[in-house]
Amino acid sequence: MKKLLHFLFLISVFHVMAQEDTLSFREDQIYFSIGYPYFSDAPTELIQNKLSYGFSLGFIRDMPVNKKRTLALGLGLGWDVNTVFNNMQFEVLGDVIRASSIQGGYNKNVLTMQTLAVPFELRWRNANETKHAFWRIHTGVSLHMPTSFRANFTSKDGVQTNINLPYKESLLRWNVHFGFNTWNISIAHDLQSWAVSSTPNRSFDIRFTKIGLIFYIL
């Protein structure tokens, strides 16, 4: 992952040194996204319930790579949070995460994940210096460094159990965002798992796909 960060840094430095365009507009942006996360690889007994949700907030530095500035690279920093309601009780036995279906009912059962994100994008838009409503397509990967991965269970009697789950130091996520002006569709998919969990029937990767909307503020 250090090599990836060095690569992204060198790209941004090269862009600053090589920039000779006469046009000056760029899409430096604050972004905010909301979406629905769901397990990408889950056993049949795992059921998501209630309304899972995720949101992210961050900043993207826009680095045009052609004279018309319709193509650019984007490098940013953000914060990502996901809350996934489900019917599996997670526990840690040694270094292994085990999951089992909850029997007898409960008030709440949820996985929460927080990460620092470093998005790197290839960006296209049919914009110019005076055209502020335009089509865009952004795609790329983001490096996520988890800061929290927790399972929170509340029984029917109101007894709470909070467990810190083990996770990998970093993971990659593929992203694509497309739309017109304010309204943009966002799709994100974990290329690597947070961890591996086992159930009585099989093991599965804890990874997520998220679909939602992303908004940009220039």
> What residue ranges define each of the domains in the chain, with the CATH number in brackets?
26-114+144-217 (2.40.160)
d(CA 111, CA 42): 14
Q: Are 90 and 69 in contact (CB under 8 A)?
A: no
Q: pLDDT at position 105, please?
A: 86
Which pair of structure tokens corresponds to residue 58? 């961050």
d(CA 143, CA 169): 11
User: What is the chain's length?
Assistant: 218
Please identify which residue in the block is written with the tokens 């083990």: 166
Show pLDDT as tens, one digit a residue, over the chain (218 residues): 555 555 455 544 444 444 444 566 788 899 999 999 999 988 889 999 889 999 999 999 999 999 889 999 999 999 999 999 999 999 998 878 999 999 888 999 999 999 999 999 999 999 877 777 889 999 999 999 999 999 999 999 989 999 999 998 899 999 999 999 888 999 999 999 999 999 888 899 999 999 999 999 87
Beta strand 96-101 with 195-198: parallel, antiparallel or unpaired? parallel
DSSP, collapsed to helix, strand or coil, labels residue 19 as: coil
| Number of neighbours of residue 205 by Cβ within 10 angstroms | 16
Cα dihedral 36/38/44/48 (nearest 10): -50
